[in-house]
Amino acid sequence: MQGNLGTVYTQLGRFDRALNCNGLMLETSRERGDLHALAVALGNHGTILQEAGKLDGSRDCFEEALQIAMQVGDTWHAARHRAALARLAYLEGEWDLALVQFEQALPVLRAGQVPYFTVGPLLDAAELEMDRGRVEEAAQLAREGTALAHDLGHDDELLRGQALEARVASARGADLAT
């Protein structure tokens, strides 16, 4: 319950409240020794910090979450945390690292049972590929992410995907004009 409240508060931009709710999950998970719950809570904490613009703290959370998820053999959550680290690397201009992380995370996320968590990484990877000048790779990722967002009724990401597809079309048009 606290994790869900943290997500809602994050979406509302109420980061202090989100961190407080998530902090309760972190504390409880640590006290109980529940490594799976701890990795999830750390990943959520990292996302809240990232949304609040606190990238260093975000990275620490994602790295610890990834380490724990790998330790307990939870490959799907490890992929989620790896995708979060990829986005962070992309935002910080570490494109080669971001690409490697996305390449490792996306196959696992695609094969998982929770497609909601695949949309963002697909679109993040599409943005990265556009910035790298790899238009066709970006087009495929944007198309996949946009279709998935549409199927899920994930309107924010659908709009983001459509904007990426327009960016791809524009880049293709510029390529044709030269």
Its pTM stands at: 0.89
Contacts 24+ apart (CB under 8 A), 22-31: 22/48
Do residues 11 and 66 share a domain? Answer: yes
Do residues 61 and 114 share a domain? Answer: no
Tens-place pLDDT, residues 124-176: 999 999 999 999 999 999 999 999 999 999 999 999 999 999 999 999 986 55
Q: What are phi and psi of 141, to 5 degrees?
A: -65, -40
Do residues 20 and 61 share a domain? Answer: yes
- Helical pair 95-111 and 75-91, crossing angle rounded to 10 deg: 150
Domain boundary at 73, 108, 130, which?
Answer: 73
Tens-place pLDDT, residues 11-44: 899 999 999 989 889 999 999 999 999 999 999 9
Q: 32 burial class (0-12, 13-18, 19+ CB within 10 angstroms)?
A: exposed
Give domain status of residue 111, yes or no. yes
Q: Please give the residue range of the domain that contains residue 146.
A: 98-178
Which CATH number do you get for residue 5? Answer: 1.25.40.10
In the chain, how many domains are there?
2
Given a contact cutoff of 8 angstroms between Cβ atoms, the answer to whether 44 and 7 are in contact is yes
Cα–Cα–Cα angle for 167, 58, 43, rounded to 5 degrees: 90
* Mean predicted confidence (pLDDT) in 42-70: 94
Give domain status of residue 57, yes or no. yes
Tens-place pLDDT, residues 73-93: 999 999 999 999 999 999 999
Q: How high is the pLDDT of residue 36?
A: 94
Do residues 127 and 178 share a domain? Answer: yes
